[in-house]
Homo-oligomer: A and B are copies of this chain.
Amino acid sequence: MNFSNSVVGFIGLGKMGLPMAKNLQSAGQSLIIYDVSQQACTSLAGHKGTEVATSISEVANKADLIFTMLPTGEDVAQVCQAADGLFSHARPGTLIVDCSTAHPQLIRSLSDAAAHISLRMLDAPVSGGVVGAVAGTLTFMVGADQVTTDSLRPVLSAMGKKIVSCGAPGHGQVAKICNNLLLGISMIGTCEALSLGARHGMDPAMLTEIIASSTGNNWCVSTNNPWPGVLPDAPSSHGYAHGGSIQTLAKDMGLAVQTASEQHMPLLLGAVAKQLYEMAMNQGLSDLDFSSVIKLYAESK
């Protein structure tokens, strides 16, 4: 199946959803869009091939493939299961793809419920933030096998650069959570290593170069280096602006710690790293790039 010629529904036109839908529109995709705030639909309206719906059920009635991009998992459940929601009104065979960040178990439950009524639902959470949504360079972690993922590729390509199959419903969320857990830990590890080197009088740029070609290398060392000036293009060299915020990362790591606890799995390093981001937020750094957590290690005057 190829959705390029289908009508695609898009529910949720916030900071992320709006530029994503705009990219679909620009790619020539026929759209039917909806948001609780009709205001949010304005900038996409009036474009040939784009219809503005006044209810979720209207989207359900007209689309073959429906994206949801909503603030919380509760919103996703509501949009699917409310009396006027997708599950009650979508046509048999409709595919619902949720791009929000949500609990993997919720996705599995919704996916199972959808299957019972001849619908399909899966998750495709994104990374790349608002910048990636605008530029159409998001990564999609698709909770589906390779075949299904490939069938979505032509549509997703309008919004993202990398589309990865994660196996089964819910596993898109799992992959995102696990990646961000490791990312959050690696960043703090990188901050500790560079700060320690600097305290010993070593130039952080030279230390970066050495680690980058050694066993300690990771994406935070080589690409999002937290030490100002080491990488001219990294947020750290521009006041820690325009990256993945501490707040966002702490939220994702919180989801990791929570889902681990639900299974009585200890997640010690993750829990400590999470607390260090909390400490950074307590010091007013919430909205800066998450590499700004290095400020916790600065020598006090």
Contacts and interface: CB of A to CB of B under 8 A. Distances in A.
Nearest to A171: B202
B196 A177 contact: yes
Given A166-B206, A182-B192, 11 more contacts: A167-B203, A179-B215, A179-B216, A181-B216, A182-B211, A186-B189, A186-B216, A264-B278, A265-B282, A269-B276, A271-B271
A200 B275 contact: no
A49 B171 CA distance: 56
A56 interface: no
A55 interface: no
A104 B213 CA distance: 21
A113 interface: no
A175 B189 contact: no
Contact of A273 (B166, B171, B269): B269
Interface residues of A, number: 81
A80 B50 CA distance: 45
Interface stretch (A7-15, A86-94, A254-262): A254-262
A271 B269 contact: no
A139 B197 CA distance: 19
B275 A266 contact: yes
A101 interface: no
A296 to B, nearest CB: 8
Given A175-B202, A218-B218, A297 B196 contact: no
A27 interface: no
Given A167-B206, A179-B210, A211-B179, A174 B200 contact: yes
Interface string A187-206: 01110111111011111001
27 contacts: A104-B200, A162-B213, A166-B210, A167-B203, A171-B202, A174-B197, A178-B202, A179-B193, A179-B211, A179-B216, A182-B216, A185-B186, A185-B188, A188-B268, A189-B270, A192-B269, A196-B259, A196-B267, A199-B260, A215-B223, A217-B218, A264-B282, A265-B282, A268-B268, A271-B274, A272-B272, A282-B299
